[in-house]
């Protein structure tokens, strides 16, 4: 049985991925500094899978913390979710983002290599495509980030490619996520933003439970079917499944694999509002607001490479994404608190 170190395993995507990893027969060790999560998510996953999960509190920027975990467990591969992800904060605090995301990843790779663990699945983002010339977006499209968060992802991708060039016994999978939403079916785990949500789906669901007065729709004059921004929303359990499929195949890859995880379908902000209203039966008040700086009109994946290489495709549609987000939000109005 392979043991997988899951950095950032207490976070939104990490906690959902734990379930499928365990169900697929992997042993997991969670490594998290809880800067944007709480142990409660892992405790709830333990109930779902009916098994205790090893958790190490530690920081990817700390050599000692990482050494401790690699000495204690024989780690076969790492899924590296740990990172900061707030785009606006990255603009005002770029050093924090480069230190946490880029330096933290360098540190992680160093300790992995010293311990003979050279398999990593890395969480990248569709943000690395910047403002794409066309849609759907294929993996060979030009990259270019518009903010320090996005650049931290691009830098890490390049560093991982250089590591492979220097030593091709590494096995590296870079997964570029589109817009993860939704929650595990039973509604006991989900996305739990610490502050006012930056992202659309948590803002909609907090508006639905009355925590927010109304949703600001950032721009209705984009060149899209209704003028509002179009994105490729992907259910977090489909995303989680992509990680398991990547791990299942990782030993067979003899080059760095860079793979989109999206559905291939684009929905507008207003499409999502309507779908959420249908799923929850709750009316979502909204107001049209100015465009948000840095936003693009349209972004959706060409997911065919993931199908070809991983045998993976997203199965869940926006109705299910909204139903599951709503179940989590309405059962846990204060998240894990």
Q: Which residue numbers are catalytic?
A: 149
If the CB atoms of residues 113 and 146 are measured against ligand UFG, the closer one turns out to be 146
If the CB atoms of residues 8 and 148 are measured against ligand NAD, the closer one turns out to be 8
Please provide residue 30's backbone torsions phi and psi, each rounded to the nearest 5 degrees.
Answer: -90, 135
How distant, in Å, are the alpha carbons of 209, 210, 229, 318 from that of 214? 11, 9, 18, 21
Looking at beta carbons, which residue is closest to ligand UFG? 229
- Alpha carbon 113 to chain centroid, angstroms: 25
Number of residues that bind ligand UFG (CB under 6 A): 21
CA–CA distance, 164 with 166 (Å, rounded to integer): 5
Binds 37, which of ligand UFG, ligand NAD, none (CB < 5 to 8 A, cut-off by type)?
Answer: ligand NAD
Binds 32, which of ligand UFG, ligand NAD, none (CB < 5 to 8 A, cut-off by type)?
Answer: ligand NAD
If the CB atoms of residues 14 and 242 are measured against ligand NAD, the closer one turns out to be 14
Angle value at C-alpha 241, between 305 and 109, nearest 5 degrees: 80
By the 8 A CB rule, do 248 and 317 touch?
no
Please provide residue 176's backbone torsions phi and psi, each rounded to the nearest 5 degrees.
Answer: -100, 105
CA–CA distance, 322 with 312 (Å, rounded to integer): 22
- Using the rule CB under 6 A, which residue among 71, 283, 292, 315 binds ligand UFG? 292
Q: Is 54 exposed, middle or buried (0-12, 13-18, 19+ CB in 10 A)?
A: middle
200 binds ligand UFG (CB under 6 A): yes
Contacts with ligand NAD by CB under 6 A lie at 7-8, 10-14, 32-37, 59-61, 81-85, 100, 104, 123, 125, 177, 179-180
Q: Considering the complex, what minimum distance in angstroms separates the CB of residue 184 from ligand NAD? A: 13
Q: Considering the complex, what minimum distance in angstroms separates the CB of residue 254 from ligand NAD? A: 25
CA–CA distance, 149 with 128 (Å, rounded to integer): 9
Question: Helix, strand, or coil here: 3?
Answer: strand
What is the x/- site pattern for ligand UFG, positions 296-335, by CB under 6 A? Answer: ----------------------------------------
By the 8 A CB rule, do 73 and 31 touch?
no
Segment contacting ligand UFG by CB under 6 A, of 64-72, 125-133, 154-162, 184-192: 125-133
Q: Considering the complex, what minimum distance in angstroms separates the CB of residue 194 from ligand NAD? A: 9
127 binds ligand UFG (CB under 6 A): yes
Binds 231, which of ligand UFG, ligand NAD, none (CB < 5 to 8 A, cut-off by type)?
Answer: ligand UFG
In 106-256 the beta strands, taken as DSSP E runs, fall at: 119-125, 171-177, 179-181, 215-218, 230-231, 233-235
- Using the rule CB under 6 A, which residue among 101, 105, 179, 260 binds ligand UFG? 179
Q: What is the largest CA-CA distance in the chain?
A: 55
| Contact positions vs ligand UFG (CB under 6 A) | 85, 87, 125-127, 177-179, 198-200, 203, 215-218, 229, 231, 269, 292, 295
């Amino acid at each position: 049985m392979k043991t997988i170190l899951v950095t950032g395993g207490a976070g939104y995507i990490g906690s959902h991925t734990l379930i499928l990893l365990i169900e697929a027969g992997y042993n997991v060790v969670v490594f998290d500094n809880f800067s944007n999560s709480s142990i409660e998510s892992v405790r709830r996953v333990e109930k779902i899978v009916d098994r205790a999960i090893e958790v190490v509190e530690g920081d990817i920027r700390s050599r000692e913390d990482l050494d401790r975990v690699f000495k204690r467990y024989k780690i076969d591969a790492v899924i590296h979710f740990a990172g900061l992800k707030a785009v606006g904060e990255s603009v005002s605090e770029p050093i924090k983002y480069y230190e946490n995301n880029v330096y933290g990843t360098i540190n992680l790779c160093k300790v992995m290599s010293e311990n003979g663990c050279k398999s990593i699945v890395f969480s990248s983002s569709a943000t690395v495509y910047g403002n794409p010339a066309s849609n759907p977006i294929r993996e060979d499209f030009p990259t270019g980030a518009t903010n320090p968060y996005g650049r931290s992802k691009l830098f890490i991708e390049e560093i991982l490619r250089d590591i492979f060039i220097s030593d091709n016994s590494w096995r590296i999978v870079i997964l570029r996520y589109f817009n993860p939403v939704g929650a595990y079916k039973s509604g006991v785990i989900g996305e739990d933003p610490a502050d006012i949500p930056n992202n659309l789906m948590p803002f909609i669901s907090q508006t639905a439970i009355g925590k927010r007065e109304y949703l600001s729709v950032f721009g209705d004059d984009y060149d899209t079917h209704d003028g509002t921004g179009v994105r490729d929303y992907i259910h977090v359990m489909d995303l989680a499944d992509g990680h398991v499929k990547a791990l299942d195949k990782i030993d067979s890859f003899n080059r760095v694999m860079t793979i989109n995880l999206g559905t291939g379908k684009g929905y507008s902000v207003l499409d999502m509002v309507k779908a959420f209203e249908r799923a929850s039966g709750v009316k979502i008040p909204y107001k049209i607001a100015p465009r948000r700086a840095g936003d693009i009109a349209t972004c959706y994946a060409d997911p065919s490479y993931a199908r070809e290489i991983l045998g993976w495709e997203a199965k869940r549609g926006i109705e299910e994404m909204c139903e599951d987000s709503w179940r989590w939000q309405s059962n846990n109005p204060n998240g894990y608190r």
